A and B are shown apart, each in its own frame.
Chain A
Amino acid sequence: MQAILEHHWFSNAVVAALLLGSVALSVFVHRNELWRGAARELGRRRPVALGVLAVYVGIGLADSVAWVDGRMQGEDVVSAHQPRSAVERAFGGRPEKTYSRPFAGAELYGTPPRPLAFPGRHPLGTDILGRDTLLLTLRGVRVALLVGGLTSLIAIPLALLFGVSAGYFGRRVDDVVFFVMSTLASIPGILLLIALVMALGQGTLQVCLALAVTSWVSFCRIARGETMKLRELDYVHAARLMGVSEVGIVWRHVLPNLMHLVVITFVLMFSGQVLVEAVLAWLGIGAAGSWGQMIAQAKDELSREPVVYWNVLAAGAGMFVLLLAINSVGDAIRDILDPRTRRERE
């Protein structure tokens, strides 16, 4: 299982699926008047943030498409037999041996400092193992998108399933779901997360799973409450009297009316996950290759003499810009879609 998930063709297939999915989504948005209006409004309000996000997604996708071509990268024999992503290929340079400053011609330490293999070719310097910081930062994009996106993709359907069934069917189902929710909610998030990762073991997928388990509850509660309200609406009653099946009602009348909440939650959840992953990374149980890991190293690097600042700055900036873009898009989306703020504006 793990082997399949980590094979590069799996990730290529996911990229293809994502591209197909987004085409389908944009067709849907284009056809539906409400969503098209919302999308246009979003584009009008947050053009810059959307542009930034598009760049990030582009980098993330480019880093997810990998293949083996038998060609060597520089003199590195191993690279010929390993899948390398499009982003990696853009950085032809073989790693250096250790730290070097941005655009430096020689290593940072040593008397005298040894010259670099690729002098002046590392715009953001290199890390302790001599890897190009810019490359690491760019590769962090994919990890962040994976952590934020995959988690939401697990958590939201889970929350919808439980929240809608609890809200719609009530009684026993509601009791059980409510019990599960209050149990999970009573364990403070970060500790539950740590416990889960410790129990599940480390790895990106495990981190996403654990993040999903800790974050689905809040949306489940919202979905449950909203479904309860929807269930009592007149036209839902009418549909039931006309003999529409329960599943049909949920599918046609309940779920579509929860979609704006799904979109809002997806965006707001996303940034939270990336932030929490950074904390996990610092605790040594994060996802491999994340910005959190790069930042976690900074504790040692900033106390060196001379100070090694470029790794933490690059990772921090990569994360900050992504989160800022997502948060500001999220704010706008909430404004546009949330009926409460919508009412306030009218």
Chain B
Amino acid sequence: MLAYVVRRVAYGLVTVVGVLFLLFLLFFTITAPDDVARKALGEKAQQEQIDQWKRLHGYDRPLLPGPGHVRDNMLVEHFRRMLTFDFGRSDADDTVILDRIKDGAVPSILLTTPLFLVGLCLGILLSLFVAFFRETYIDRTGVFLAVLGMSLSILLYIIGAQFLVGKLLRWFPISGYDPDPAVVWRFLALPVVVGILSSLGGNVRFYRTVFVEEVNRDYVRTARAKGAGDGRVMLRHVLGNAMIPILTNVVMAIPFLFTGSLLLEAFFGIPGLGSMTVDAIDNNDFATLRTMVYIDALLFILGQILTDVSYTVADPRIRLE
């Protein structure tokens, strides 16, 4: 068991290295630092200005290790900085990236945690319900609604909700944020609801497939033959056996908890990490962007390790292997 965890963590580290190489490829070689500088300074910038900007942002070193600069090059520097969480300054406005991440994490987590938890529970309950009535018109209606929901772009959900609630009903502010705990929920309510609705269709369809597969298993029949009621069969036996795919799906969402949803934050004016990423795209702020990508990947890898370990809790076949 311990050996398994160690091996899993080691592989996670290897993946981190892979991610860092990919980021290097994308942000230092495919996009040349000169281009980045020109985007930041404007097309008419002089070469000296560009050189100075590159020096300031650490883009002035040779790209790869070579004789004379085995350690002083961008590849090594990129790895060193990322691995030590020394992300440096934004390419666009020179703010310290780490500080902005610290500021942005709280709103993001406040937005995505309820969104994620409520969305997950709702999705699972609805799909258990639909799976229980499989092959009936309840099931067919449920699946149809799920497909309907999946066919709508999240943009439309957001725009529609803002229009409806903000312009017609005027229940909540449609955009903005106030960190004061007493009023913050007023700003979060709408994005949370929209986020849940927009992901519900996909969730229900996915979990329904999982549950229907389980419902047809022999052990479910055994449970019913013992005299277990429908609720017990679904919640205890079916749900228990469906834990593995559910866990996998949950982990996919862990980095999302931290970085928030780009669109929700940007549309609803919540100053979290999602908004920060969107700003970085608008401003060609490559330093911030690659930091966000890196942190997300890091969280994802961590989450994967956690899932693999939690599989062992959910499934004795893996635990006792």
List residues of chain A with CB under 8 Å of any chain B CB.
179-180, 182-184, 186-188, 190-192, 194-196, 198-200, 271, 275, 278-279, 282-285, 292, 295-296, 298-299, 302-303, 312, 316, 319-320, 323-324, 327-328, 331, 340, 344
Q: Does A183 lie within 8 Å of B22, measured CB to CB? A: yes
**Contact flag A195-B290 (CB < 8 Å), given A299-B159, A324-B147, A331-B147:** yes
Whether, in the assembled complex, B216 has its beta carbon less than 8 Å from a beta carbon of chain A, the answer is yes
- Give bound CA distance, A187 to B150, whole Å: 23
Q: In the complex, what distance in Å separates the CA atom of A323 from the CA atom of B159?
A: 18
The 8 closest A-B pairs by CB, nearest first: A183-B18, A323-B151, A324-B151, A199-B30, A199-B26, A278-B153, A187-B297, A327-B147
Report the Cα distance A292→B27, complex, angstroms. Answer: 26
CB distance from B235 to the nearest CB of A (A): 22
State how many angstroms separate the Cβ of A243 from the closest Cβ of chain B.
38
Q: How far is the CA of A251 from the CA of B22 in the complex (A)?
A: 32
Q: Are A194 and B277 in contact (CB under 8 A)?
A: yes
On whether the beta carbons of B151 and A190 are closer than 8 Å, the reply is no
CB-CB under 8 A from A183, the residues of chain B are 15, 18-19, 21-22
Which residues of B278-293 have CB atoms within 8 Å of chain A's CB atoms?
278, 281-282, 284, 286, 289-290, 292-293
A191:B277 contact, CB within 8 angstroms: yes
Point out the residues of chain B lying under 8 angstroms from A328, CB to CB. Answer: 147
**Residue contact A186 to B19, C-beta cutoff 8 Å:** yes
Partner of A195, one of B26, B255, B282: B26
Instruction: Name the A residues within 8 Å of B216 (CB-CB).
Output: 344
Q: Is A188 in contact with B262, judged by CB distance below 8 angstroms?
A: no
Question: B31: which A residues are within 8 A, CB to CB?
Answer: 198-199
Main DSSP-derived SS at the A contact region: helix
Q: What number of A-B contacts does a CB cutoff of 8 Å give?
A: 121
CB-defined A-B contacts under 8 Å, sample of 30 = A182-B18, A183-B19, A186-B15, A186-B304, A187-B293, A188-B255, A188-B256, A188-B296, A191-B292, A194-B289, A195-B26, A195-B290, A195-B293, A198-B284, A200-B30, A275-B153, A278-B153, A278-B155, A279-B153, A279-B262, A279-B263, A284-B281, A285-B281, A295-B153, A302-B167, A316-B153, A320-B156, A327-B147, A327-B150, A331-B143
Least CB distance, A205 to chain B, in whole angstroms? 15
Residues of A near B153 (CB, < 8 A) are 275, 278-279, 292, 295, 316, 319-320
> CB-nearest residue of chain B relative to A275?
B153
Q: Is B90 part of the contact surface with A, judged by Cβ < 8 Å?
A: no
Chain B residue numbers with a CB within 8 Å of A198 are 31, 281, 284, 286, 289
Q: Is B154 an interface residue (CB 8 A)?
A: yes
Distance from B151 Cβ to chain A, minimum over Cβ atoms (Å): 4
Q: Within 8 Å CB of B156, what residues of A? A: 295, 312, 316, 320
B 241-255 contacts with A by CB, 8 A: 255
User: Which residues of B lie under 8 Å from residue A186 when comparing CB positions?
Assistant: 15, 18-19, 297, 300-301, 304
For A186, A200, A283, A298, the residue with the greatest tally of chain B CB atoms inside 10 Å of its CB is: A186
Q: Contact: A271 with B281, CB < 8 Å?
A: no
- Which chain B residue lies CB-closest to A312? B159
- Given the known interface contacts A187-B293, A188-B255, A195-B27, the answer about A271 and B301 at a Cβ–Cβ threshold of 8 Å is no
- Report the Cα distance A285→B277, complex, angstroms: 14
For chain B, residues 1 to 20, give those with C-beta under 8 angstroms from any C-beta of chain A. Answer: 11, 14-15, 18-19
Chain B residues near A340 (CB, 8 Å)? 213
Given contacts A186-B15, A199-B27, A284-B281, contact A279 B154 (CB under 8 A): yes
**What residues of chain B lie closer than 8 Å to A190, measured between beta carbons?**
262
- Which B residues are in CB contact (< 8 Å) with A331? 143, 147
A123 to B27 CA separation, bound complex (whole angstroms): 46
On whether A271 and B150 interact (CB within 8 A), knowing A195-B290, A284-B282, the answer reads yes
Expressed in whole angstroms, the minimum distance between the Cβ of A326 and any Cβ of chain B is 8
CA distance A192 to B301 in the complex (A): 15
CB-defined contacts of B286 to chain A, threshold 8 Å: 198
Tell me which residues across on chain B come within 8 A of A182, comparing CB atoms: 11, 15, 18
B20 CB to nearest chain A CB (Å): 9
